[in-house]
Structure 1
Amino acid sequence: MNVQRRLISGTAVAAATVLGLGTLSACSDSSAADNKSGGKLDVVASFYPLQYLAEEIGGTHVHVTTLTQPGQEPHDLEISAKQTAQLQVADAILYLKNLQPAVDDAVAQSEAKTKIDAASLTTLEKHGNEVGGHADEHDDHEGEESGGKDPHIWLDPVKYAEVATGVGKALEKADPDHAADYKKNTASLVKKLDGLNTQYEDGLKNTKSKVFITTHAAFGYLAERYGLTEEAINGLDPESEPSANRVQDLEKMAKADGVTTVFYETLVSDKTAKTIAKDAGLRTDVLDPIEGITSKSRGNDYVQVMESNLKALQKALGAK
């Protein structure tokens, strides 16, 4: 395998010492990394959507680990000393800049030769609480609480496929001995995502309503892709609390636009969603931002959960 493994840096040694592992020699660290990954390309992904790409594209040639554990809210991730050491000896790091600040800091300090920022592999946009066609009619809210650019690109199968293509090319460069397999696996994944995009296009083409309410603004790219409007209770921060005015606006909008459902997600409290739904006489359902797969997920992987999301949207929007 044409993969260069680096000597352990002072940062990794310090992290190992914090863990009570003592001072590691450069040789022993390199051997440990090789043993742990079984001689495969050692890839560290920041959270599930990127882990999925690495596993699908890398196949049998990569050993993939993730910094965000199943059920853990990725936005609030803090990097442990053990994970800092892990990032130092990785062959490749796959992350999405500006989604997880602690990860961004740790990656910047890492000496990994291959650092793949998913945000650089497609185009990002700014999204506020309202995203899509409906938002264009209400410009006074556009950009409110938008903060920076929306990182939730994986919820748009087209953008996700663009990221997959970039990840594939990066792995080819990092491990040229298996470039042909990475290229083949990338093509297979892109084809699968193209099929998912077609399912969404066909499934959401004819609906009674085009507006859906979510707990936080994770589905802006999806809404724009398929001619829908996402109205988020909160902004891009899933833990923020909505203002009283925002809640009143949502209740009025729900009546005006024939909204039937308030969506909540698996990794964040459903309290606010259920309160608004009860006050407005609406149903609640799950629309999963797929930031992690757990026993509560409606599917075992990205594609399965996206298909479940499509069914939930079709029901809520009155697909014909």
Structure 2
Amino acid sequence: MVLMKRLKPAVAVLGSTALIVAACSSETGDETSSDGIQVTTSIYPLEYVAEEVGGDHVSVTSLTTPGSDDHSLELSPRQVNNLSNVDLVVTLSGYQAAMDDALGAAEVSRVIDAADHIKLIEDIDHSGHDHSGDVAEEQEASQDAHDAASEEAEAHEDHDHTDEEDHEGHDHSGPDPHFWLDPTQLALLAEPVAEQLAEIDPDNADEYRANAEQLIADMEALDGDFHEGLAQCESDTFVVSHEAFGYLANAYDLDQQGIAGLEIDTEPSPRRVAEVTALIEEAGVSLIFATSEAEMSVTGALAEEAGVDVDILDAGATQLDENVDYEALMRTNLDKLQNALDCR
């Protein structure tokens, strides 16, 4: 068996003309507009919430550019300084070191940290079942829960988890950050965003709160469609390039099998590759997923070896197509899961 190459994000190659244009233009998040409340977010799902709640009264920018590696965000000094000029920043602490550092350096007027409102799951096994308790019972996550998760993540940093054979090629670097892949979890940010916008712009407070209620209803409807669409399937096992879908698997009783762990640049061990290949055959899996185009070649190599098809199940940290928003992306993912799991 040929060992799969190390997972790495694709690097865009720019021609000389594109470089000249880029040099004359501003970076994402470099400048603010005078139109409406200025909101900066770290990743697309947070941008989506801010736009849905703020409506026409906000101008929202995500610092993670489309198609880039969200785990390895890099910010320029201008982008860091500009955080002091916006009205509101929405982020997820502990996810992107550059963003955490920037917020520590910049004088930011208002920050919403998703980790203060979401119970991040520290330990999800391959079947997606939470070992830290029922997520539904902990949706009203407190700052104490956030602090406890942060302390535990720091403790993990002091412990060596580099033995691939012992850990089967999976990284255990802290809580799973991909909470937005469960729409009911993303909905938990609607009200905090509405309240911050209401404080900034009291004249439109009722509209922000109404928009938040509508977003919550939309996410509940999406959640219902996932439950219904995945209720009667021949299989509950799906294979994905890295374990970004733990919250989704946990919410809909699916068995997520990651070729690699939470981090997209984690190299799967030969043992893990062999396990996944055997599982594909034993479970009758006919379609496996990459989470992005950058992982298609690696996942495709395993698919070819196992004799199965490969497709993209978008983890949604960035918006690749401005005409495809979070809800549309998730519905596309639902269609692909139904196909892979042979659902009726």
* TM-score, normalised by the number of residues in structure 2: 0.77
- 1:186 matched to 2:224: no
- 1:202 matched to 2:260: no
**Structure-2 separation of matches of 1:302 and 1:44:** 17
Instruction: Give unmatched runs, 5+ long, in structure 2.
Output: 1-22, 24-30, 132-165
Matched residue, 2:161: none
Could you say if the C-alpha distance between residues 303 and 141 of structure 1 is closer, same or farther in structure 2, counting changes exceeding 3 Å? Answer: same
Matched residue, 1:87: 83
Q: Sequence identity, in percent?
A: 37
Instruction: Tell which deviates more after alignment, 72-81 or 211-220.
Output: 72-81
Matches within 5 A, 1:295-314: 295=321, 300-314=324-338
Instruction: Tell which deviates more after alignment, 160-169 or 245-254.
Output: 160-169
By how many angstroms is 1:145 displaced?
A: 2.0
Where relative contact order (Cα < 8 A, 6+ residues apart) is larger, the structure is: 2
Could you say if the C-alpha distance between residues 109 and 267 of structure 1 is closer, same or farther in structure 2, counting changes exceeding 3 Å? Answer: farther
By how many angstroms is 1:117 displaced?
A: 0.6
By how many angstroms is 1:146 displaced?
A: 2.2
By how many angstroms is 1:258 displaced?
A: 2.1
Query: Which 4+ residue blocks in structure 1 deviate beyond 6 angstroms?
Result: 140-143
**Structure-1 separation of matches of 2:107 and 2:169:** 37
Matched residue of 2:242: which SS?
coil
Matched residue of 1:312: which SS?
helix
Matched residue, 2:103: 107
Matched residue of 1:241: which SS?
coil
By how many angstroms is 1:267 displaced?
A: 4.8
**Structure-2 separation of matches of 1:124 and 1:211:** 23
Aligned length: 281
Match of 2:262 among 229, 232, 236: 236
**Alignment check: 8 A CA contact 2:181 2:315 kept:** yes
**Alignment check: 8 A CA contact 1:42 1:62 kept:** yes
Matched residue, 1:268: 294
**Structure-2 separation of matches of 1:141 and 1:317:** 27
CA deviation vs aligned residue, 1:5-45 (integer Å, no higher than 9, x gap): xxxxxxxxxxxxxx9xxxxxxxxxxxx95xx232x221111
**Structure-2 separation of matches of 1:278 and 1:192:** 39
Instruction: Tell which deviates more after alignment, 162-171 or 219-228.
Output: 162-171
Matched residue, 2:316: 290
Matched residue of 2:199: which SS?
helix
By how many angstroms is 1:144 displaced?
A: 5.0
**Structure-1 separation of matches of 2:74 and 2:129:** 36
**Structure-2 separation of matches of 1:93 and 1:157:** 21
CA deviation vs aligned residue, 1:142-200 (integer Å, no higher than 9, x gap): 99522100000000011111122322223223333321111011111111111100110
Could you say if the C-alpha distance between residues 225 and 112 of structure 1 is closer, same or farther in structure 2, counting changes exceeding 3 Å? Answer: same
By how many angstroms is 1:206 displaced?
A: 0.7
**Structure-2 separation of matches of 1:181 and 1:267:** 38
**Structure-2 separation of matches of 1:180 and 1:69:** 32
Instruction: Tell which deviates more after alignment, 217-226 or 285-294.
Output: 285-294
Matched residue, 2:34: 37
Matched residue of 2:95: which SS?
coil
Match of 1:169 among 176, 191, 195: 195
- 1:155 matched to 2:151: no
Amino acid at match of 1:97: S
Instruction: Give unmatched runs, 5+ long, in structure 1.
Output: 1-18, 20-31
**Structure-2 separation of matches of 1:189 and 1:274:** 36
**Alignment check: 8 A CA contact 1:168 1:183 kept:** yes
Match of 2:54 among 53, 58, 68: 58
**Structure-2 separation of matches of 1:165 and 1:72:** 29
Matched residue, 2:112: 116
**Structure-2 separation of matches of 1:282 and 1:149:** 31
Could you say if the C-alpha distance between residues 224 and 129 of structure 1 is closer, same or farther in structure 2, counting changes exceeding 3 Å? Answer: closer
**Structure-1 separation of matches of 2:235 and 2:256:** 12
Matched residue of 1:316: which SS?
helix
**Structure-2 separation of matches of 1:112 and 1:41:** 14
By how many angstroms is 1:283 displaced?
A: 1.1
CA deviation vs aligned residue, 1:103-133 (integer Å, no higher than 9, x gap): 1110122212210011211111124572425
**Structure-2 separation of matches of 1:266 and 1:144:** 19
- 1:97 matched to 2:123: no
**Structure-2 separation of matches of 1:209 and 1:134:** 20
Matched residue of 1:44: which SS?
strand
Could you say if the C-alpha distance between residues 275 and 106 of structure 1 is closer, same or farther in structure 2, counting changes exceeding 3 Å? Answer: same
